[in-house]
Amino acid sequence: MSDFERQYTRVDTVRKILDDRIFGIGDPDRQRNAFVHLYGVGQACAMIALKRGHDGNYAELACIAGMLHDFVKFEVAGDIPAHAKKSALRVWPLLQATGEFTEEELTMICTGIANHSDKLRTDDEFSEIIKDGDAMQHWLRNPAEAFFSEKSRNVALQKEFGLNGDPEKRI
Ligand SMILES: [Fe+2]
């Protein structure tokens, strides 16, 4: 393989699953929101995992969990009750069917997805990355506002990433 040849990864497998899902959403506005949020959270999760010292393989799993964390959302406006747990239940068989994930990896990914709505609780390290990735994407999509429930997470992320701002540059 040359240096410039792209390597096929499990993120590509998941991208196909996710794109199928998003293209199945009728409303173009919700489709756009789904693309921006789900791929955005995937990237934020990868960055947070790497920042916390994990390797590329772990960051790949975090990216995948981030991409799929709201899998059952976006069909309708507003929140869907228990969407985190419902998403985990939908995602497990889809990932298992690819044959590309071990049982342990499926457990990590689906536990992270199932826990992601409980932002005021602290769970295992992987789940915390998915929650923080979710919070970070919401924040960076519009840096001037943050959901109340995610505020303390974003304050901590600003500190962790050195994004507290220079008081002299405040407008
Ligand atoms: Fe989300």
Q: Residue 2 C-alpha to ligand 1 middle, in angstroms? A: 37
CA 168 / ligand 1 centre spacing (Å): 33
- In this prediction, residue 32 carries a pLDDT of 96
- Rounded CA-CA distance 133/161 in Å is 13
What residues flank ion ligand 1 with Cβ within 5 A? 70, 134
Question: Contact 112/130 with Cβ under 8 angstroms?
Answer: yes
User: What's this model's pTM, rounded to 2 decimal places?
Assistant: 0.93
50 phi-psi bin (left φ>0, alpha ψ -120 to 50, beta other): alpha
CA of 22 to the centre of ligand 1 (A): 14
Mean pLDDT of 93-104: 98
Residue 43 Cα to ligand 1 midpoint, Å, equals 13
More confident residue, 75 or 103: 103
Q: Quote the ligand 1 centre to 158 CA distance (angstroms).
A: 19
| pLDDT > 80? residue 85 | yes
pLDDT band per the 50, 70, 90 thresholds, residue 6: confident
Q: How far is the CA of 4 from the centre of ligand 1 (A)?
A: 33
pLDDT over threshold 90, residue 102: yes
Is the pLDDT score of 67 beyond 70? yes
Of 27-31, 33-37, 107-111, 160-164, least confident by mean pLDDT is 160-164
17 or 166: which carries more pLDDT confidence?
A: 17
pLDDT digits (tens, 9 = 90+) for 16-26: 999 999 999 98
Q: Name the average pLDDT for the chain.
A: 92
